[in-house]
Structure 1
Amino acid sequence: MQENYLAKWLSGELSEKELAEFKKSAEYASYQKLKEVSSTLKAPEFDVDQALTQLKEERIGNAPKVIALNPFKKFLRVAAAIAVLIAGSYFYISTLDESVTTQFAERSEVILPDNSEIILNAGSRVSFSEKNWDEKRNVTLKGEAFFKVAKGKKFTVSTTHGTVAVLGTQFNVENREGFFEVTCFEGLVSVAYNNIETKLPAGSSFMVINGKIVDTTAPNTSQPTWVNNESSFERIPLGYVFAELERQFNIEVNSQNVDRNLLFTGTFSNTDLNMALKSISTPSRINFKLEGDNVLFYAKKTP
């Protein structure tokens, strides 16, 4: 790419052939993104004609009339445009949220700016603004995470199902498609769901399955079992158990003649696939077949 293509592109002076060549360059996508972001910003007022008049009075004085100012005027316009692009890129980058994502069969630990801790379960994502953290301690969650919140201002977890608010405590939030559960292990948690607020003291849970609030039993552990490589369920539809099995082992689960709405109570290991399959199939009275990364659960009467 020729060196003057950027300046000509910013001033709209590229020919069709030059523009086509410029778009093929590796830098074009980045310049276009910055241009789009900067277009939403309002640049400081800059009167080019007034600046040129002042410059002529102070620096040029009695210079010969043959000096052409028009090229310099174009240069100032390009320089101003580049300055806006630089300011826009800084604004764009500085406002980006920090985010951490885990893939299937993966977990991650996140330390927040106030030393609060997040343990992120498989197939999950959290994001937060490090720049504005002191003003607003808010985390957006998709998936499941266990939180150990340092005491301080209100701490909120935003999900597609509802919002969880605390001051300093330990709790678990699972936000999956059709499934929402909050369990408080220490302190007091406030859960806002459908504009109704529910207070959860330590040792209690709030659960919603397919838009319906369901009763739950008190947890008998000091933290979620998945932190210790076990996935536990209390009267949960088999379909959600299969989905968790997929996340923990990065496999594909299918079923044949199996009622996925059948309620399952039990625990499976997150580190031993064969043991996990037996832990699900035996109490559910179904069979399984494992081939590579694919598992088929089927009813015993199925040929």
Structure 2
Amino acid sequence: MQENYLAKWLSGELSEQELAEFKKSAEYASYQKIIEASSSLKAPEFDVDQALSRLKEERTGNAPKVVALNPFKKFLRVAAVVALLITGSYFYVNSLDESISTQFAERSEVILPDNSEIILNAGSKVSYSEKNWDKKRNITLKGEAFFKVAKGKKFTVSTTHGTVAVLGTQFNVENREGFFEVTCFEGLVSVIFNGNETKLPAGASFLAINGEVMASSAPNTTQPSWVDNESSFERIPLGYVLGELERQYNIVVNTENVDKNLLFTGTFSNTDLKMALKSISTPSRMNYKIEGDNVLFYAEKTP
């Protein structure tokens, strides 16, 4: 009843009798105070047109810039870049050579795609193309290696000093700075040095030191001595002997008042350093001192 009176009172629809009865109620006084207080309030002026104009400006300024793209063209560009990367990676990876190297005091065995074998001496490196192996059996060598070549197409070993070519045989190649030696243990080996070819039958060697071809003796073994943990030399300058000692033991060798051009003939062990030092120093009439990884050779008369 009161709720109906309130609605009619607010809309001015109460009859005189209903108004008289409503004024007697306890709620009337409260409603009257609310009406009086709200009548003094004034709403702020509001310009509808100005508000709409401001809203349009804000929407235009904050709207993200949209660039229309053809989705298919974008896909083609991405696909082309991916294809280029895949193609480039394929050719790059397949153009890489296989490479195997040994550190000082280290040795390694390599099995080639045709089951040819390489035994790599200390401080050496070989590389070859596995992808093109069936077309061209070629090895690049830095250092020293013993080859057991399976029969087949021409097999070549390329070095900075010369090229060795065979069809199927066993041979050793040493290619160091100023030192180039090829020894044939089985079959026939062709050596190209300074544009000249030398053919080596089994039991023959080719030796060049500092670009000069030297006389060399025939091997009396079926494989190089270093494969059996010995390093053998016959009339080889002492400097090269000491270099091999460094490689086999990963040490630093120094000399004092020693003629490193002195020709050395002998053998030293690759597994016993003290024995190796005696094997070199005694026939060369030298003394030596060991300090950690350093060895000093000096003439007997040097204090």
TM-score by length of 1: 0.77
CA distance, structure 2, for counterparts of residue 166 and residue 128 of structure 1: 16
**Paired residues for 1:188-203 under 5 Å:** 188-203=188-203
- Output the CA distance in 1 between the equivalents of 2:131 and 2:76: 33
Alpha-carbon offset, residue 90 of structure 1: 1.3
What is the identity, as a one-letter code, of the residue corresponding to 2:229?
N
In 2, Cα distance between the equivalents of 1:213 and 1:230? 25
Distance of 1:239 and 1:167 partners within structure 2:
34
Q: Which residue of 1 aligns with 2:187?
A: 187
Aligned partners of 1:114, 1:226: CA distance in 2, in Å? 25
Specify the structure having the higher radius of gyration (Cα): 2
Opposite residue 242 of structure 2, the aligned amino acid is F
User: Cα distance, 1:91 vs. partner?
Assistant: 1.1
Q: Does 1:123 align with 2:123?
A: yes
Alignment-mate amino acid for residue 129 of structure 2:
S
Does residue 300 (structure 1) correspond to residue 300 (structure 2)? The answer is yes
Correspondence 1:216 to 2:216: yes
| Residue type of the alignment partner of 2:171 | F
SS at match of 1:118: strand
Aligned residue in 1 for 2:79: 79
User: Offset at 1:68?
Assistant: 3.1
Provide the C-alpha distance between the structure 2 equivalents of 1:242 and 1:67, rounded to a whole number of angstroms. 74
CA distance in 2 between partners of 1:171 and 1:147 (Å): 5
Q: Does structure 1 residue 256 correspond to structure 2 residue 256? A: yes
2:251 maps to 1:280: no
Alpha-carbon distance, 1:87 to partner: 1.1
Pairing 1:154-169 to 2, within 5 Å after superposition: 154-169=154-169
SS of 2:90 mapped into structure 1: helix
Q: Equivalents in 1 of 2:272, 2:69: separation in Å?
A: 77
1:105-148 CA deviation, whole Å, 9 max, x = no partner? 00000000111000000000001111111111111100000000
Mean CA deviation greater in 139-148 or 80-89: 80-89
Deviation track 1:247-287 (CA, whole Å, cap 9, x = no partner) reads 00000000000001000000000000000000000000000
| Partners of 1:135 and 1:173 in 2: CA distance | 23
Question: Could you say what secondary structure the match of 1:227 adopts?
Answer: helix
Shift of 1:78: 3.1
Matches within 5 A, 1:227-266: 227-266=227-266
Q: Which residue of 2 aligns with 1:270?
A: 270
1:175 and 2:175 are equivalent in the alignment: yes
Q: Return 5+ residue gaps in structure 1 as ranges.
A: 1-65
SS in 2 for 1:123: coil
How much has 1:160 moved relative to structure 2?
Answer: 0.5
Q: What RMSD, in angstroms, separates the aligned Cα atoms of the two structures?
A: 1.4
Alpha-carbon distance, 1:77 to partner: 2.0
Mapped to 1, the partners of 2:150 and 2:77 lie a distance apart of: 50
Residue 160 of structure 1 aligns to a residue in which SS? coil
Q: SS in structure 1 opposite 2:151?
A: coil
Summarize deviations over 1:180-232 as a string: whole Å, max 9, x none: 00000011000000110000001010000011000001111111000000000
Counterpart code for 1:141: L
1:75 deviation in Å?
Answer: 4.2
Q: What does residue 44 of structure 1 align with? A: none
Instruction: Using the TM superposition, give the Cα deviation of residue 70 of structure 1 relative to its aligned residue in structure 2, in angstroms.
Output: 4.5
Aligned positions of 1:49-128 closer than 5 A: 68-70=68-70, 72-128=72-128
Give 1:74 shift.
4.0
The structure 1 segments of at least 4 consecutive aligned residues displaced by more than 4 Å after TM superposition are none
Secondary structure of residue in 1 paired with 2:247 = helix
C-alpha distance after superposition, 1:15-69 (max 9, x if no partner)? xxxxxxxxxxxxxxxxxxxxxxxxxxxxxxxxxxxxxxxxxxxxxxxxxxx9933
CA–CA separation in structure 2 for the residues paired with 1:222 and 1:81: 57
Deviations 1:150-204 (A, max 9, x none): 1111100000000000001000000000000000001100000011000000101
For 1:239, the aligned partner's letter is G
| Post-superposition offset of 1:71 | 5.8
* Structure 2 unmatched ranges of 5 or more: 1-65
Task: Give the whole-Å Cα distance in 1 for the aligned partners of 2:166 and 2:242.
Answer: 31
Identical-residue share of aligned pairs (%): 82
Question: Structure 1 residue 95: deviation in Å?
Answer: 1.5
- Per the TM alignment, residue 81 of structure 1 is displaced from its structure 2 partner at its CA by 1.5
For this pair of structures, how many residues does the alignment match? 238
Q: Give 2:203's aligned amino acid.
A: G
Q: What is the TM-score normalised by the length of structure 2? A: 0.77
Structure 2: how far apart are the matches of 1:239 and 1:67?
Answer: 75
